[in-house]
Amino acid sequence: MKACGLIVEYNPFHNGHVYHLKNAKNVSNADCMITVMSGSFLQRGEPAIIDKFYRTKAAVTSGIDIVVELPYAFAVQSSDLFARGSVLTLQALGVDSICFGSESGDITDFISGYHLFNEQAELFRETLTTQLQQGLSFPEASKAAYQKIGLTTAGMDLTKPNNILGFSYVKAILENNLPIEPLTIKRSKSGYHDKTITSSIASATSIREQLFADNKITPEIAAAIPEATKEQLNRYRHIATSWHQWEDYFPLLHYRVMTMTEQELSAIQGVDEGLEYRLKKTAKHATSFENWMEQLKTKRYTWTRLQRMFVHILTNTKKRDMTFVLEMASMPYVRLLGLTKTGRQYLNSIKKQIEIPVITKLSRNMHPLLHLEEKASAAYYSILPPALQMKLRSQELQPPIMDP
Amino acid sequence: MKACGLIVEYNPFHNGHVYHLKNAKNVSNADCMITVMSGSFLQRGEPAIIDKFYRTKAAVTSGIDIVVELPYAFAVQSSDLFARGSVLTLQALGVDSICFGSESGDITDFISGYHLFNEQAELFRETLTTQLQQGLSFPEASKAAYQKIGLTTAGMDLTKPNNILGFSYVKAILENNLPIEPLTIKRSKSGYHDKTITSSIASATSIREQLFADNKITPEIAAAIPEATKEQLNRYRHIATSWHQWEDYFPLLHYRVMTMTEQELSAIQGVDEGLEYRLKKTAKHATSFENWMEQLKTKRYTWTRLQRMFVHILTNTKKRDMTFVLEMASMPYVRLLGLTKTGRQYLNSIKKQIEIPVITKLSRNMHPLLHLEEKASAAYYSILPPALQMKLRSQELQPPIMDP
């Protein structure tokens, strides 16, 4: 059986993802579609609007054959680490290809881009360092460095979010000489950051904005998501009374920072360059998450970077918990969240080739990555009533979600 | 001017405290009555029902001339440290006497008790150690050790809470050879732990129980507290919508423990003897503070000890933050919370004899004890809406409360 991997967050799973799935299946000619999905917290440093189990259910009901979890330690990271964790996870599951969306839809742009990047690696690093020293944010400095080495041409514009992630995937595959074919399909029209829903293909950002603005699934939203997503969004909200967003976590986050010393803060992943002082100072006057972020934000500290830092504060993730992640050349396990009949057949067919444990239940003693997962899960549910927390956390100990 | 010191919590200030004040003034023949009062959290490991500023206001309106704060590091401690911090604070303010309530009302019982205790110190310690090793709680083991050396006779029964505290005060005075006369008055009839209000002199415990049960000041409660307390209880509840109790802090506390490792927990003051494992294990099933406590409690871990531990978890107070407290032979400052005209006259009269700073505003850079105070205050208010937290915390930066 042939498998194709997708790297996703499904926050929530929408028609754009259906389009991605369909086209990826076409171009890859795969029998089995495998996704590696962020869990409780997302790459841009946000809580997922509904938990990973409900998102998995929507995915496997909508044609995804296997959903595995991207460990927290890779999920809430900049694009290179996020990509490395995702690609290594898919590689462990023996995918033949990985297919991602991009602006041009032409994989040769990415491959020649990668070679150009490699030839100019020194110039890139020098420019990046200089720009960072001048106080630019990492994305801004990267942009300048990509410009310097010519990676902002029409075919390969690394200022577009989807291109950056795609480039990181290609880099992770080629750098590690993985036997995976990178594939790309042209993105459908809606932009990554669009704020309003304008058609049946809308960005996840615009869908979330609309969900929170209307506090229900309007016909507009319903037109942009498959039935399975509608069902899971409604089911989750029925038990949790609302979808998750940053403001819900503000009291916990604020309490934490108010009772930590600067020294303790500086041990947390993402609290760098004196941010600990800024955090303590601004905490005294913060009245909401949004308000706090506005106080913290500067040219140097981007919104995404600050949000990721807040996730790590919330989950109490220390720098020392993360250092080993940088050294990892392969994944220690794969955690299966859900699968279809096809997914099960595929796993059976390659059972002997998978070299690492495929686990389903969260057991903290297995690996430090799972300990981080446990804390992330506890933090994610911590805004809910105690009995409900217990019930939702117990999903971590269940067998994978099956469809049908 | 002659001054008498009282060691109090005023949670809340009630008729029994008025009685104590009046009688202490009589027996001490003092011109100025000074209290050292616990701040946000109390000796038995509980949040104060209203904040220290509102409690101070009730006290100075009811005849207390000076209210100073017992630092957090001494307030949430076993009786000996609590007593030492209190006595040293009063000593810094030059009191001539300290007057406390006791069962017999006879100070000679305490003084001869102290000498007996000193003579039998070795036997006491041996018995205590043996009993602790056999798994008894500290209070149980102490009781057995006091029995062994004969300190449970009618005149000096150290199984009564008020006697234990009184004995600790006398010990702190005599051990340090302080020029302070210990005085005691016989307690009015209501027991320390009485649960119901039976007369106009009721225990603070029964008043709190009744306040939370009725969620208002009933005529019964009103008859047991002075008008000033009624006013402050109402004023505080008007802005905070409720009085503080442990259950309000359960979500924060639970979130904290769920996102801490056992190792991090064991660094917290009061998390000893493997309690970190018990905490993590029970947290998974805890549905309320009460429920969690019931799960944690054993013969060895008393309710009070566990509550103190929870206060330290809530305020993120580490063992290393507290070690220096054991070494302190004098207080580094006195923090003035409130005073009357008489109080001001007294302070002016002894200004030159006070050897340590008398401060009013909380400034964390002054001393590590104040840093703990700042965290305790932040944690105490953390259950309130952000703007209200800010407003109430700002009291920490105001001049002392004056009456009239």
- φ/ψ region of B246 (left if φ > 0, alpha if ψ in -120 to 50, else beta) reads alpha
Helix axes A386-393, B246-258, angle to 10 degrees: 20
B356-393: burial string, b at 16+ Cβ within 10 Å, e else: eeebbebeeeebebbbbbbbbbbbbbbbbebeebeebb
CA distance B157 to A50: 60
Q: Is the pLDDT of residue A367 over 90?
A: no
Question: Who wins on pLDDT, A163 or B189?
Answer: A163
Helix axes B303-314, B289-296, angle to 10 degrees: 120
CA distance A85 to A68: 12
- Cβ contact (<8 Å) for B379 and A252? no
The H or E element containing residue B147 is: helix B138-148
- Cβ contact (<8 Å) for A387 and B259? no
| A279 chain-B contacts, CB cut-off 8 A | none
| B250 chain-A contacts, CB cut-off 8 A | 386
- The residue of B248, B255, B262 whose CB has the most chain A CBs within 10 angstroms, and thus the best one to mutate to test that interface, is B255
| Interchain CB contact of B3 with A (< 8 Å) | no
Mean pLDDT within B182-193: 77
CA distance A117 to A121: 6
Q: Is the pLDDT of residue B291 over 90?
A: yes
Q: Is the pLDDT of residue B140 over 60?
A: yes
| B288 chain-A contacts, CB cut-off 8 A | 386
Mean pLDDT within B269-285: 95
pLDDT at position B74? 97
CA distance B90 to B325: 17
| A362 chain-B contacts, CB cut-off 8 A | none
- Cβ contact (<8 Å) for A386 and B252? no
| Interchain CB contact of B255 with A (< 8 Å) | yes
CA distance B245 to A374: 29
CA distance B310 to chain A (A): 14
Q: Is the pLDDT of residue A195 over 80?
A: no
- Cβ contact (<8 Å) for B255 and A252? yes
Mean pLDDT within A356-369: 82
| Interchain CB contact of A287 with B (< 8 Å) | yes
Share of chain B above pLDDT 90, in %: 81
Q: Is the pLDDT of residue B149 over 70?
A: yes
Helix, strand or coil, per DSSP, at residue A7: strand
pLDDT at position A135? 86
Backbone angles phi, psi at A337, to 5 degrees: -100, -35
Q: Say whether A20 counts as a known binding-site residue.
A: yes
pLDDT at position A362? 80
| Interchain CB contact of B267 with A (< 8 Å) | no
| Interchain CB contact of B84 with A (< 8 Å) | no
For residue B77, the one-letter residue type is Q
Of A258, A264, A285, the CB nearest to B382: A258
- The winner for highest mean pLDDT among A82-86, A143-147, B196-200 is A82-86
| A290 chain-B contacts, CB cut-off 8 A | none
Of A250, A316, A390, the CB nearest to B259: A316
Q: Say whether A13 counts as a known binding-site residue.
A: yes
A and B: number of Cβ contacts within 8 A: 66
Q: Domain residues of chain A, as ranges?
A: 3-103+160-189+329-403, 246-321
CA distance A82 to chain B (A): 23
- The residue of B41, B259, B383 whose CB has the most chain A CBs within 10 angstroms, and thus the best one to mutate to test that interface, is B259
- Cβ contact (<8 Å) for B264 and A316? yes
* A172-175: long-range contacts, CB 8 A cutoff, minimum separation 24: A172/A80, A172/A83, A172/A84, A172/A86, A172/A87, A172/A88, A173/A87, A173/A98, A174/A111, A174/A114
pLDDT at position B191? 53
- Cβ contact (<8 Å) for A287 and B386? yes
pLDDT at position A20? 94
| Interchain CB contact of B326 with A (< 8 Å) | no
pLDDT tens for B154-179 read 678 887 777 889 999 999 999 999 99
Mean pLDDT within B350-367: 85
CA distance A218 to A229: 13
| Interchain CB contact of A394 with B (< 8 Å) | no
User: Which of B9, B4, B19 lies closest to B69, judged by CA?
Assistant: B9
Count Cα neighbours of B237 within 13 Å in the Cβ-side half-sphere: 16
Report whether B368 contacts B376 (CB < 8 A). Answer: no
pLDDT tens for A26-54 read 999 999 999 999 999 999 999 999 999 99
Mean pLDDT within A365-379: 90
User: Which residues of B participate in the annotated binding site for ATP?
Assistant: 7-20, 101, 162, 187
Write out the DSSP string of A180-198.
-EEEEEEPPSS-TT--S--
Mean pLDDT within B86-114: 94
What distances in angstroms separate CA A64 from CA A20, A92, B176, one per listed residue? Answer: 11, 18, 75
Report whether A75 contacts A41 (CB < 8 A). Answer: yes
| A261 chain-B contacts, CB cut-off 8 A | 371
Closest-approach residue (CA) in chain B for A371: B261
Looking at residue A394, what DSSP letter applies?
G
| B314 chain-A contacts, CB cut-off 8 A | 259
Mean pLDDT within B4-33: 97
- Range A3-103+160-189+329-403 classified under CATH 3.40.50.720: no
- The residue of B247, B258, B269, B321 whose CB has the most chain A CBs within 10 angstroms, and thus the best one to mutate to test that interface, is B258
Write out the DSSP string of A148-160.
HTTTEETTEETTS
CA distance B262 to B275: 9
CA distance A213 to chain B (A): 22
| Interchain CB contact of B285 with A (< 8 Å) | yes
Structure tokens that stand for A142 in this block: 């990267």
Q: Say whether A84 counts as a known binding-site residue.
A: no
- Cβ contact (<8 Å) for B286 and A387? no
CA distance B181 to B178: 8
**β-sheet bridge partners, residue B67:** B35, B338
pLDDT tens for B374-397 read 999 999 999 999 999 999 999 999
Looking at residue B45, what DSSP letter applies?
S
Closest-approach residue (CA) in chain A for B387: A287
Q: How confident is residue B99, by pLDDT bands cut at 50, 70 and 90?
A: very high
Provide the ipTM. Answer: 0.92
Residue with tokens 């205050």: B377
Residue with tokens 């059972």: A351
What distances in angstroms separate CA A127 from CA A136, A150, A175, one per listed residue? Answer: 11, 12, 21
User: Which residues of B participate in the annotated binding site?
Assistant: 7-20, 101, 162, 187
CA distance A54 to chain B (A): 22
Share of chain B above pLDDT 70, in %: 98
For residue A283, the one-letter residue type is A
Enumerate the H helices of B216-258 as residue ranges. Answer: 219-222, 227-240, 246-258
- Cβ contact (<8 Å) for B259 and A378? yes
Helix axes B246-258, B275-283, angle to 10 degrees: 100
Mean pLDDT within A159-167: 85
| Interchain CB contact of B387 with A (< 8 Å) | yes
The H or E element containing residue A336 is: strand A334-340
Q: Say whether A101 counts as a known binding-site residue.
A: yes
Of A259, A379, A387, the CB nearest to B259: A379
Mean pLDDT within B276-296: 97
Structure tokens that stand for B2 in this block: 């002659």
Residues near A403 by Cβ (< 8 Å), separated by ≥ 6?
A: A57, A60, A61, A338, A339, A340
Question: Who wins on pLDDT, B19 or A299?
Answer: B19
- Cβ contact (<8 Å) for A259 and B314? yes
Structure tokens that stand for A250 in this block: 């503000």
Mean pLDDT within A107-133: 92
CA distance A369 to chain B (A): 14
What distances in angstroms separate CA B274 from CA B263, B264, B265, one per listed residue? Answer: 10, 12, 10
Report whether A189 contacts A100 (CB < 8 A). Answer: no
Give the Cα-Cα-Cα angle A369, A192, A210 (nearest 5 degrees): 95
CA distance B399 to B381: 20
Helix axes A246-258, A289-296, angle to 10 degrees: 60
Q: How confident is residue B192, by pLDDT bands cut at 50, 70 and 90?
A: low
The H or E element containing residue A98 is: strand A97-102
pLDDT tens for B202-259 read 999 999 999 999 999 999 999 999 999 999 999 999 999 999 999 999 999 999 999 9
B156-157 and B152-153 strand pairing: antiparallel
| Interchain CB contact of A310 with B (< 8 Å) | no
